[in-house]
Amino acid sequence: MQPYFNEQQIVQIYHVSKRFKHNCQALEDITLEVEKGDFIFITGPSGAGKTTLLKLLFVEERPTSGQIIVLGRNLNRVRESNLHRLRRQVGVVFQDFRLLKDRTVFKNIDFVLRLYGHPPKVREKKAWQILSMVGLEKKIDSYPLELSGGEQQRIAIARAIVNDPPLILADEPTGNLDQKREEEIMAIFNQINARGATLIIATHNRSMISRMGKKVVSLDNGRLVSGAVM
């Protein structure tokens, strides 16, 4: 089947499989469509393929077979040299945060603001606003390793959303947070979703998923076990 681009859909995944070296089948024949403005949880046990699926959407990994269309672009046809354009429109919260350890919190946020070419005054204001939103404006001059795991996670979230990207991917974004912080972060995600952003969040936290009452896609052993939209 040849996928066709549908404007309503921000992510289209067609019969995607991913096999790693040593014969590990991480994903098998996944077909899934995500509409603009959706807020979707991807869940499943450890090793189910959640992280791999997000990595395919961000083109950190390539599928072994199948096709993926993100924001209207077929990822199989996007050249490596043009990936930065696509990535600018996708905010990612990595499971391991990936903060720049030798730069302050401000510089970590400023780094992505610069991609949009904002003037320095605007960048400062935006950085301060987003850090207040995640409750860390006082840490603006700290270095990542001076922060707790939960604080680093909130910086990673701030960095992913500061440019208002239309698509946000987050891998276990509340893994290091207690329930109060988790609820604060989910409230922020709800807010940016209400402003039109699409969110795809991988988590094995079933209680958070049931509290949120959003769409859920379940993976097990690389296969979609429920929530397929088709």
Residues forming contacts to ligand ADP in the complex (CB under 6 A) are: 20-21, 24, 26, 44, 46-52
Closer residue to Mg ion, CB minimum distance, 204 or 215: 204
CB of residue 53 to ligand ADP, shortest distance in Å = 7
Provide the strand spans (E) within the chain: 9-20, 24-35, 39-43, 65-70, 73-74, 90-93, 167-171, 198-202, 215-220, 223-226
Q: Please state at what angle helix 149-161 crosses helix 179-194, rounded to 10 degrees.
A: 0
CB of residue 3 to ligand ADP, shortest distance in Å = 23
Do 67 and 16 meet the contact criterion of CB atoms below 8 Å apart?
A: yes
Closer residue to Mg ion, CB minimum distance, 18 or 50: 50
Of Mg ion, ligand ADP, none, which one does residue 24 interact with (CB within 5 to 8 Å by kind)?
ligand ADP
Q: How far is 30 from 225, CA to CA, in rounded Å? A: 10
**In the set 12, 51, 198, 205, which binds Mg ion (CB under 5 A)?**
51
Closer residue to ligand ADP, CB minimum distance, 42 or 140: 42
CB of residue 220 to ligand ADP, shortest distance in Å = 9
How far separated are the first and last CA of the chain, in Å rounded? 13
Beta strands at 9-20 and 65-70: parallel, antiparallel or unpaired: antiparallel
Closer residue to ligand ADP, CB minimum distance, 49 or 144: 49
Of Mg ion, ligand ADP, none, which one does residue 205 interact with (CB within 5 to 8 Å by kind)?
none
Binding site for Mg ion (CB under 5 A): 50-51
